[in-house]
Amino acid sequence: MYMAYKHFHLLMVALSVSFFLLRYAMSLKPAALLQRKFFKIAPHVIDTLLLVSAVMLMLTLQQYPFVHTWLTEKLIAVLAYIALGVMAFKGRTAAIRWICFLGALGWLGLAARVAITKQAVFLTAL
């Protein structure tokens, strides 16, 4: 089951990031498509499935945040990605939205690096 959970999780990661990039690009110029029900609901469905697949992987591997440093750091990176991703759409100015978008991508990169190497970058002293 591990490989099925892993591949499903990676698919959801790809869809989640793709939707984030697409929605941000569409938000640069007000697009009527962004107001469609599909673009409002699909990211939530994808992110819910992403979270469920992450929990299934965690339980299968018996590796948990706050027990395994790399997973704690990945969780922190994902939470920062989510927070900055929200601000990339809701920031008061275009500059704030752009900085938040780039910051979200940076945290996403850290989460990916930690997921691949299973080595924490910042929490190594814990």
Q: How far apart are CA 94 and CA 51, in angstroms?
A: 30
Q: How far apart are CA 120 and CA 76, in angstroms?
A: 11
Q: What angle do CA 12, 90, 110 make, to 5 degrees?
A: 45
Q: Catalogue the long-range contacts made by 60-64 (C-beta closer than 8 Å, 24 or more residues apart).
A: 60/1, 60/2, 60/5, 61/2
- pTM score of the predicted model: 0.89
Cβ–Cβ under 8 Å, residues 27 and 111: no
| Full pLDDT tens readout for the chain, 126 residues | 999 999 999 999 999 999 999 999 999 988 788 889 999 899 999 999 999 999 999 999 999 999 999 999 999 999 999 999 999 999 999 999 999 999 999 999 999 999 999 999 998 765
pLDDT at 34: 86
